């Protein structure tokens, strides 16, 4: 099968991923093999490729927003069935025994397994994954529009919950890429008023098109104080202005897995008044299942830009440069993926 393989880290502009023929993986006990239809491209993939995250496996096939069809079952697997359409996301394994797993906080597991980081991911024609971590993809979504939901959507959903934003309140979104363009749809459906700060003018235009009441520069002060905010951009320098934009008692949730250094925070003007600064770490399976139900009910509509599997390096470079709206999606199979029922 074909796969885009990372042997050595490097800047995405240097095209570090190599298209290779690799053996078709066999599912082990408790696993399924998925024929990959599409795999969305995530900023976390950039952090892995460029070694912002410490390397844990080489060579590695990146990709963790996978939509495909189950084509083989490992020992002991009865569900999902062969032929089922499923999604494989970032977190695909936990120890089940640590203090976090045994207290309903599996996203904080001390020995996690992440797709495309510890285990081969979806920049390939096939992938294996634990059956119990596969998500059923609602029929409301075609393959390409479903793929970004599996990380950008799920982590955005958890970040929205941890921000504490309530119906009728003002929510700020800092950075407006794949995750934010999904979260704005959730937040508006819940009755929030959304303000967006973003570096790119085209991203600000999309935010207004999707229902934001205000869109300004990345560090601009919104017209009114916010009750809650989410920082999606991996830019630590945005933490102080985002905190200054919060009303007393507000929470800033940082949704990225990696961030540049945060400058000194002034306690009196940026944190005092019971403002809260918190991080968001992965997601539980319950988060993923709840999000997909809510996204289908709204329904959320993702904006995607397709790339061929062999063009994964270009997709990563375009993501880093902000050259498209929404999410990039790799088409990993030769025959057509399931189309959106709404297009």
| Helices vs. strands in the chain: H and E counts, helices first | 8, 17
User: Domain 2-151+300-331 falls in which CATH fold?
Assistant: Quinone Oxidoreductase; Chain A, domain 1 (3.90.180)
Does residue 156 contact residue 185 with C-beta atoms inside 8 Å? Answer: no
What does the CA dihedral 77, 82, 87, 91 come to, rounded to 10 degrees? 20
- CA 343 – CA 325 distance, rounded (Å): 18
Q: Where are the domains of the chain?
A: 2-151+300-331, 153-279
The rounded distance, in Å, linking the Cα atoms of 312 and 39 is 10
Model pLDDT for residues 14-59, shown as the tens digit of each residue: 999 999 999 999 999 999 999 999 999 999 999 999 999 999 999 9
* Position 130 pLDDT exceeds 90: yes
Q: Give the C-alpha separation, 140 to 148, whole Å.
A: 14
For the chain, give the mean pLDDT.
96
3-state secondary structure of 210: coil
Query: Is 146 a residue whose pLDDT tops 90?
Result: yes
Quick: pLDDT tens for 61-81. Answer: 999 999 999 999 999 999 999
In this prediction the pTM is: 0.94
| Parallel, antiparallel or unpaired: strands 126-130 and 214-216 | unpaired
The residues, any chain, with a CB within 8 Å of residue 264's CB and separated by 6 or more, are none
Spatial contact of 282 and 112, defined as CB atoms under 8 Å apart: yes
Which CATH superfamily is 153-279 part of?
NAD(P)-binding Rossmann-like Domain (3.40.50.720)
pLDDT digits 0-9 by tens, 297-310: 999 999 999 999 99
Please state, for a pLDDT cut of 90, what percent of the chain lies above it.
97
| Strands annotated E in 99-141 | 113-114, 126-130, 135-136
**Please, are residues 24 and 1 in contact by the beta-carbon 8 Å criterion?**
yes
Q: Are 63 and 25 in contact (CB under 8 A)?
A: no
What's the pLDDT score for residue 341? 73
Name 169's Cβ contacts closer than 8 Å, sequence gap at least 6. 192, 193, 227, 228
């Amino acid at each position: 099968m074909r796969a885009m393989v990372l042997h050595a880290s490097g800047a995405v502009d240097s095209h570090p991923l190599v298209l290779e023929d690799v053996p078709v993986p066999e599912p082990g006990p408790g696993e399924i093999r998925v024929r990959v239809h599409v795999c969305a491209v995530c900023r976390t993939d950039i952090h892995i490729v460029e070694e912002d995250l410490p390397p844990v496996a080489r060579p590695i096939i990146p990709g963790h927003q996978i939509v495909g069809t189950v084509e083989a079952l490992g020992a002991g697997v009865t569900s999902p069935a062969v032929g089922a359409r499923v999604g494989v996301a970032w977190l695909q394994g936990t120890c089940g025994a640590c203090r976090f797993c045994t207290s309903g906080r599996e996203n904080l597991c001390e020995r996690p397994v992440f797709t495309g980081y510890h285990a081969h991911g979806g920049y390939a024609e096939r992938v294996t994954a634990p059956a119990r971590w596969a998500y059923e993809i609602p029929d409301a979504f075609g393959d390409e529009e479903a793929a970004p939901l599996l990380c950008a959507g799920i982590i955005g959903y958890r970040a929205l919950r941890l921000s504490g934003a309530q119906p009728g309140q003002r929510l700020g979104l800092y950075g407006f890429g794949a995750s934010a363009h999904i979260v704005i749809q959730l937040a508006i459906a819940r009755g929030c008023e959304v303000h967006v700060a973003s570096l790119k003018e085209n991203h600000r235009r999309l935010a207004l098109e999707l229902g934001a009441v205000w869109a300004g520069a990345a560090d601009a002060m919104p017209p009114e104080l916010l009750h809650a905010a989410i920082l999606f951009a991996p830019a630590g320098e945005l933490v102080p202005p985002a905190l200054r934009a919060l009303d007393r008692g507000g929470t800033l949730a940082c949704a990225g897995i990696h961030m540049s250094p945060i400058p000194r925070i002034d306690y009196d003007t940026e944190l005092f008044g019971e403002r809260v600064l918190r991080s968001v770490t992965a997601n539980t399976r319950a988060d993923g299942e709840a999000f997909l139900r809510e996204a289908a009910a709204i329904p959320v509509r993702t904006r995607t830009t397709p790339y061929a599997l062999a063009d994964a390096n270009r997709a990563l470079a375009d993501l880093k440069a902000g050259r498209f709206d929404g999410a990039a999606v790799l088409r990993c199979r030769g025959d057509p993926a399931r189309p959106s029922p709404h297009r």
